[in-house]
A and B are shown apart, each in its own frame.
Chain A
Amino acid sequence: MSERKPGWRELPRGAVSTKSSKDYKTGDWGITKPEFDRDKCTKCTLCHFYCPEGAISIGEEGHPSVDNDYCKGCGICAEECPVSCITMVITI
């Protein structure tokens, strides 16, 4: 986060967000990322619905994948997966 941020005179009043949350990448907050075992996955999509960030999307074949720009590594997906096909892997 080394870009120059605007000063108080420049920022819009009312503390409105100048960026969409999509522009605010939070992927570097966490220390773990999910890895999916495609052989065990039953394509139930529960991980997609449980993800608080909306970072897990379901591909055309029905398999989940994670967007690491936004995943904070909370591990809720791994906890909720009924067939334990998600492993949280330490990334640092």
Chain B
Amino acid sequence: MKKQILMGINGDESVAYATKQVNPDVVAAYPITPQTIIVEKYSEYVADGEVDTEFVAVESEHSALSSCVGAAAAGARAFTATASAGLALMWEILYIASGLRLPIVMAVANRALSGPLNIHSDHGDSMGARDSGWIQIYCENGQEVYDACLEAWRMGEHLDVQLPVMVCLDGFTLSHTMENVLTLQDEVVKAFVGEREFIEVEGHAGKTEFRLNPEVPLTMGPVDLQDYYFEHKLQQVEAMDHALNVIPEVDAAYEKISGRSYGLLHSYMMEDAEVALLGLGSTMGTVRYVVDELRKEGVKAGLVKMRVYRPFPSEALIEALGETPVLGVLDKAISFGSPGGPLFEDVVTTFFDEAERPLIADYIHGLGGRDASPKLLRGIFESLLEIKEKGNVSHKVNYVGVRTEVR
């Protein structure tokens, strides 16, 4: 393990600092609350000459990600960051970045989508992008944010993967909250991320590295009709499958230098758990606190934090939760008109064919930054214990921490 320096920084600063240490060739970003600090901080690094990055001050998020696509196609390491409406404006380009297999890294400071206008945290923005072909990592705290912003490059750039990576951090709860973050030294980070590697492709002018080079020209992203488009989508499916193996490998390499590793998911107090909560992001820190409290009271509670949501770690999930009698899923997003929250749907699909599976209920919480307090989470555990008692789930989808009528 290498020497580390303890810093007091917020989540956005963790993103900016980690990215400074990676020193990517291009950062193209447009500020939007609660991601703004990332852009401000990074432009300071550029102005102060601390990085070699070409900083592109674009006029919109559509342009921000488009610039990253161009830069990455030319062989650069490209980074951007956004949130909420900014991510929505990137929509078209999200699919282009993944479809062209460009390993861009993007931080998303999760924020509710308008309207009505809300600047606080939920997962409505990045959940909408779950089918866009990006790897998605959800962070619990500032330390995880810093670590993910270093690991993301190696996950996405791996020759078997070649996909863009989204590092998600809850707006304000993480983005603006100062925490102790252990940081590696610049040269250690530099050695860890190394240089971007390229796959070899055979284009119309012969074999070449997969980057734009006038010596051996390539055509990227041309019209792809009925006769080829489907094949190229299958290649993205394969890349996501590969990522399930590559991510733990990168994590193991990162553990050697930092002493920290996270895996695809992280289980806590699950050995003998009778009721458990599964969720993403900062809420899981509070769940851990509640699990500790309940354990002191003799309740066999546990939690599983999903760090990697795309690719979806089905096998790891079955291993972690197959023997748990009752499972509550914490969704921080609504998928309107669907059978449940996005995470709930994926979890239920995963367990459907399993002989041994928990009783599963969905708890949609925290929309628009609504607090997920220990009291609220304790209430969810109580409802899970009730399900265990009764042996069936009467309400599959529950909206918790929301007023119905006050009279």
Contact = CB atoms under 8 A, between A and B. Distances in A.
Contact of A16 (B220, B227, B230): B220
Interface in B162-219: 162, 199, 201-205, 210, 218-219
B100 A14 contact: yes
Interface in B220-241: 220-222, 224, 227-228, 230-232, 234-235, 238-239
Nearest to B102: A14
Nearest to B199: A13
B158 interface: no
A21 B204 CA distance: 9
Contact of B210 (A6, A14, A20): A14
What DSSP secondary structure best describes chain A's contact surface? Answer: loop
B227 A14 contact: no
Given A8-B232, A8-B234, A15 B204 contact: no
What DSSP secondary structure best describes chain B's contact surface? Answer: loop
A11 B210 contact: no
A92 interface: no
A23 B205 CA distance: 12
A15 B210 contact: no
A52 to B, nearest CB: 14
Interface in A13-67: 13-21, 23
Contacts of B218: 16-17
Contacts of A90: none
B221 A15 contact: yes
A14 to B, nearest CB: 4
B100 A5 contact: no
A34 to B, nearest CB: 24
A17 B205 CA distance: 10
A16 B234 contact: no
Contacts of A21: 219
A8 B235 CA distance: 6
A19 to B, nearest CB: 5
